[in-house]
Structure 1
Amino acid sequence: MPHHANSPHPPAARSFLSRRRVVAVCAAAAAFALFLAAAPVAEDPSRQRAYLMGPFRGGSREETVVAGSLAGASSSSPSPAESPLSCLGEINLSGGIEPTPAPSMFLVPSPSPAENFDDGSMEEPERPEIKGNPPKDPAPFLQEPISTGLPTMSSDVNGEHDIDRKPVLPLRPEQAPLWSTAADEELIYAKKEITNAPLTSDDPDLYAPLFRNVSIFKRSYELMEKLLKVFVYHDGAKPIFHSPELKGIYASEGWFMKLMEANQNFVVRDPNRAHLFYLPYSSRQLEHNLYVPGSNTIEPLSIFVKNYIDMISAKYPYWNRTKGADHFFVACHDWGPYTTKLHDELRKNTIKALCNADLSEGIFIRGKDVSLPETFLRAPRRPLRDIGGRPVAQRTILAFFAGQMHGRVRPVLLKYWGDKDADMRIYSRLPHRITRRRNYVQHMKSSKYCICPMGYEVNSPRIVEAIYYDCVPVIIADNFVLPFDDSLNWSAFSVVVPEKDVPKLKEILLAIPESRYITLQSNVKRVQRHFLWHPNPIKYDIFHMILHSVWFSRVNQMQIN
């Protein structure tokens, strides 16, 4: 380069100064990285909330500054104290603006009005409306699964399930673990034991017709109790982390978090002993703290989750060993699946326990992911309140539904059956003249069949509520993977009706013989124990069933050879 007369330094000096600048920048970057690893999080909960909400208030792209990448840092980047990722806890990330994904991936509709659940509907959150058809993830690797002994259930007409003859194959991790551990060997041992499970026919604690294969389930559950160790990440501060919400329609994720973190049988402090790693964040708290009302985008939530996983994988070696295949999270909010879209390994490899278990979106992977029951709890201190219902002879209503008319199924249900048939009590809202005599819960306790149609998404808390009130659930949601479908035989205690058959709903229900209905209703009462929350978990309850489904998924991923 020629030497200009107005340059204050000759070429050699400028070269020396450039090298000094490079060294200085590298030293500063290293010091900053050490600062990130040691920076404490503010302990004042109100300040943590301010960190979360501040950068997103207003909803403009320029204001949506999310931490996590040193690349692209600018003078407009927030200070560490302002970063929404301050709630990550031990590591306080700050930095530049994350790349913005296509807006169509994160569009959400306007908020829907809240309603009172007792008069026939529930308080519905804002739901994301994904535009277009996202590409489905092809199964890159398949292996021989543990056979449950039964084909896959798809839909139910006239009280009998149609059977999908194609077996459901669980996914292997996309790449083998970088190194093997004693925990891997225990999982391989468990898979051999489960595959060769001894026949069970007379276990007084397990009613065989409720299960796809009671022998497989019993042996798998026994091995879970004996072997399973879970490491819970301590990173992350409240409110998004370690903050269980125990009331309402998102109670499942909150109750699991509370009981998992307090568990002394499965949780270990040494991650090197763990078979599974639990990511203890709340999808409900993500929505509550990061979503900007009226912004119509859940992008901030997705970026937050991506940066959390990036932090975990940078701080610990455990994620990278399996690319997240031995990690799991539990999310009941409808947005739970969509917040994984910006992190490929989280979306494809991690075991996702989701209430919104929709096969059509290309996010929930059957055989790897877990369908989480959506439980609506009104009284956290008394989770078993009002359990049970009237005997069969006193169930005078053929079918009952009341709720908001959103989604593609419910308006059709109301069109054909709303106020048109005395046997079909279908309402958009229970009229006051009716609630004076019988409220929402009493209707479910007095009905033979409780209609459980999808809303914005495929999941509905009415399915578990029907089970709580001894009412046979009638599930109308194509592409919905039913809870615990790896273990439970839903044809024994429910009716699944394709969406296209809503106009024939009464005909379908009346075609079920009385003897068949009595069997279904009796089995509802038997299966109820597997959907109950207890402040102190008991064997085979919903907490253990969720954990078993995650365990069974992980065992199924292991290669024996």
Structure 2
Amino acid sequence: MGDMNRLVKNRRGFYVKMRFFKTKNEKNGKPFLVRYFKWVLWFSLSFYFFGKFLNGHEPSTSGLKTTMVNHSHRALSESVVVREDKDDHGLLNDLKVYVYELPSKYNSDWLSNERCSNHLFASEVAIHKALTKSDFRTFDPTEADFYFVPVYVSCNFSTVNGFPAIGHARALLSSAVELISSELPFWKRSNGSDHVFVASHDYGACFHAMEDRAMADGIPEFMKNSIILQTFGVKYQHPCQNAESVVIPPYISPKSVQSTLSKMPIDGRRDIFAFFRGKMEVHPKNVSGRFYSKRVRTEILRKYGNDRRFYLKRHRFPGYQSEIVRSVFCLCPLGWAPWSPRLVESVALGCVPVIIADGIRLPFESTVPWSNISLTVRENDVAKIGHVLDHVAATNLSAIQRNLWDPQIRRALLFHDDVETGDATWEVLVALSTKLGRSHRRSRFSANG
């Protein structure tokens, strides 16, 4: 391309610098097609690279800067696209996280059981894994904004019922804090306020599945000054959120979602009107004397068990995601705690979640437009669910589904092995970036002017 100057590239993108007029050294009388070809070539290249530029700049939910790019795009453009968008909070774009390298008994030893990294509490594993390989990780603790404490406490599965037994959680976490505070100065320097834990259990850092016991035990004193990433969250005062917290989604394997959608597309045929599969007790007061799901699931079964529009199943089925992707509405009633993995599964598979959990705080509410993609029914209004769903189906169902099927929403609720722009670990980093007032490094810089 003799009439084209060089293709200039930089970290913000690229531009093509062209000559628009003939120079004094250019011969007159060149064939018209030659000059015309230059213009066609120039416009083609401009539109091609501009299209690539737009594809690399999808709308961002954060103000963090990243240099992560798709390798195939890098091969085409030989450039790295850098995000420098800032949201309303004026996020700083050089967030740094130090990940403690603890002895294996605190984390990797638990991975000998493959369920540890795949069950609904496995965000503690996923976040650790993603941060370890992230560009936001620093190996120099003196330059870190936050310190991540990777302790897995939900992988001790009961031999009786197979559920995670977390009675050891407090002791294991306390031991980890004692270790990091004795070997490095950063915990004591801030009293743990810039340290981050994951508590992905029913009642978060209260570490008990029964609410009354969880509330009585409360959050361990040594964690109350720290930041807790937890699935539990409510919009009212509760002892199990008496610490700085970020509500995160429960873990659902992105590979399982991808596998299901490869067989049945998200916009495919949905022949199930309302779906629920899970624990529904005929007599809700169990042997512990407690009412599971505050009787909500039992009332659903009683009211709609014989309604042919409702596909209600009480027993587990390994391939149940194939039922979700066939369903229009997915019931998401509370269990012991308000949140449920069905929140993520229904969104990821394009089924409108019907949330039945009074006062629940949902994951990443500043990013995920829950009011535009889900329905909320009060626990006392379970008997009205049929009427609510009929009304939505007859009015604005299509609009809700269009919002729900946005791939960016699905991405925001799924944890990947590597941090991906807009995925769940990315959203955790966004949330942390709004808490930089806790960063000792930032406060030091501010003090120095």
TM-score range, shorter chain: 0.5 to 0.7
Q: Report the Cα distance in structure 1 between the residues aligned to 2:175 and 2:110, rounded to whole angstroms.
A: 19
In structure 2, C-alpha distance between the alignment counterparts of 1:355 and 1:222, rounded to whole Å: 24
Match of 1:473 in 2: 353
Q: Give 2:425's aligned residue.
A: 543
Match of 1:330 in 2: 198
Name which of 230, 247, 258 aligns with 2:118.
247
2:270 aligns with: 395
Residue 516 and residue 505 in structure 1: after superposition, are their counterparts in 2 closer, same or farther (change >3 A)? same
Over residues 464-497 of structure 1, what are the superposed CA-to-partner deviations in whole Å (9 max), with x where a residue is unaligned?
1111211111111123210112333210111122
* CA distance in structure 2 between the aligned counterparts of 1:332 and 1:387, rounded to whole angstroms: 26
Residues 425 and 392 of structure 1: is their aligned pair in 2 closer, same or farther, counting only changes over 3 Å? same
d(CA) in 1 for partners of 2:103, 2:160: 21
* Residue matched to 2:136: 266
- How far residue 416 of structure 1 moved from its aligned partner, in angstroms, is 1.7
Matching residue's letter, 2:414: L
Residue type matched to 2:117 in 1?
A: L
| 2:256 pairs with 1:386 | no
Larger relative contact order (Cα-Cα within 8 Å, sequence gap ≥ 6): 1
Matched, 1:276 2:146: yes
1:552 matches 2:438:
no
Structure 1: distance between partners of 2:147 and 2:362: 24
What is the match of residue 404 of structure 1? 279
- 1:442 maps to what in 2? 322
Distance 1:499 1:226, change over 3 A: same
Give CA-to-partner distance per residue, 1:290-325, whole Å, 9 cap, x none. Answer: x9999x996543233223323333333212232222
1:364 aligns with 2:241: yes
1:429 aligns with 2:315: yes
TM-score normalised by length of structure 1: 0.53
Matching residue's letter, 2:192: G
Distance 2:167 2:319 in 1: 40
CA displacement 1:404-458 (0-9 Å, x = unmatched)? 124322222212222x21112223237xxxx8xx962232112111111111112
Distance 1:233 1:297, change over 3 A: closer
Shift of 1:260: 1.1
In structure 1, C-alpha distance between the alignment counterparts of 2:260 and 2:138, rounded to whole Å = 36
Equivalent residue number for residue 381 of structure 2: 501
Distance 1:300 1:246 in 2: 18
Distance 2:190 2:311 in 1: 51
For the 8 Å contact 1:230–1:276, the answer to whether it is kept is: yes
**Which residue matches 2:94?**
227
Q: 1:531: Cα distance to partner?
A: 2.4
Matched AA of 1:321: R
What RMSD over aligned residues (CA atoms) do the two structures have, in Å? 3.8
| TM-score scaled by length of structure 2 | 0.65
Matched, 1:531 2:413: yes
Q: Are the equivalent residues in 1 in contact too, given 2:279–2:315 (CA < 8 A)?
A: yes
Contact residue 195 and residue 227 of structure 2 kept, 8 A = yes
Other structure's SS at 2:175 match: helix
Partner residue in 1 for 2:170: 302
Supply the distance in 2 between the matched residues of 1:317 and 1:341 (Cα, whole angstroms): 27
Q: Deviations over 1:346-388 (max 9, x none)?
A: 1x3211111233456422258x311111123395xx6632137
Distance 1:502 1:360 in 2: 25
**Tell me, what secondary structure is at the counterpart of 1:398?**
strand
1:206 to 59, 62, 68: 59
List aligned pairs for 1:40-51, cutoff 5 A: none
Equivalent residue for 2:221, pick from 316, 323, 344: 344
2:87 & 2:143 partners in 1: Cα distance? 19
- Which runs of no fewer than 5 residues in structure 1 stay unpaired? 1-201, 211-216
For 1:513 and 1:556, how far apart are their aligned partners in 2? 46
CA distance in 1, matches of 2:231, 2:102: 24
1:57-82 Cα offsets, whole Å, 9 max, x none, are: xxxxxxxxxxxxxxxxxxxxxxxxxx
**CA–CA distance in 2 between the matches of 1:556 and 1:313?**
18
Could you tell me how far apart the structure 2 residues matched to 1:444 and 1:297 are?
A: 29
Q: For residue 82 of structure 1, what is the aligned residue in structure 2? A: none
- Size of the aligned set, in residue pairs, is 338
Aligned equivalents of 2:293, 2:432: Cα separation in 1 = 30
Give, in whole Å, the separation in 2 of the partners of 1:243 and 1:390.
35
Aligned to 1:194: none
How far, CA to CA, are the matches of 1:288 and 1:440 in structure 2? Answer: 22
Name the % identity: 26
Q: Distance in 2 between matches of 1:528 and 1:297?
A: 30
- Distance in 2 (CA, whole Å) between partners of 1:428 and 1:360 is 33
Q: Please, which moves more after superposition, 472-481 or 234-243?
A: 234-243
Aligned-pair distance for 1:231? 0.7
1:510 paired residue among 375, 379, 390: 390
Residues 153-168 of structure 1 mapped to structure 2, 5 A cutoff: none
* Post-superposition CA distance 1:5-28 (Å, at most 9, x none): xxxxxxxxxxxxxxxxxxxxxxxx
**Alpha carbons 1:413, 1:502 under 8 Å: kept:** yes
Residue pair 1:537, 1:544 contacting (<8 A) in 2 also: yes
- Spell out, residue by residue over 1:257-281, the C-alpha distance to the aligned partner (whole angstroms, 9 max, x if none): 1111122x11111111111110101
Alignment partner of 2:332: what SS? Answer: strand
Does residue 417 (structure 1) correspond to residue 304 (structure 2)? The answer is yes
What is aligned with 2:13? none
1:536, 1:378 → 2: CA distance?
A: 12
The corresponding residue for 1:160 is: none
**Residues 555, 414 of structure 1: alpha-carbon distance in 2 compared, 3 angstrom cutoff:** farther
Which residue identity does 2:308 align to in structure 1?
A: A
Rounded to whole Å, the distance in 2 between the matches of 1:308 and 1:361 is 26
After TM superposition, the structure 1 = structure 2 runs for residues 81-160 of structure 1, keeping only pairs within 5 Å, are none
Give the Å deviation of 1:461.
0.9
Tell me the CA shift for residue 507 of structure 1: 1.1
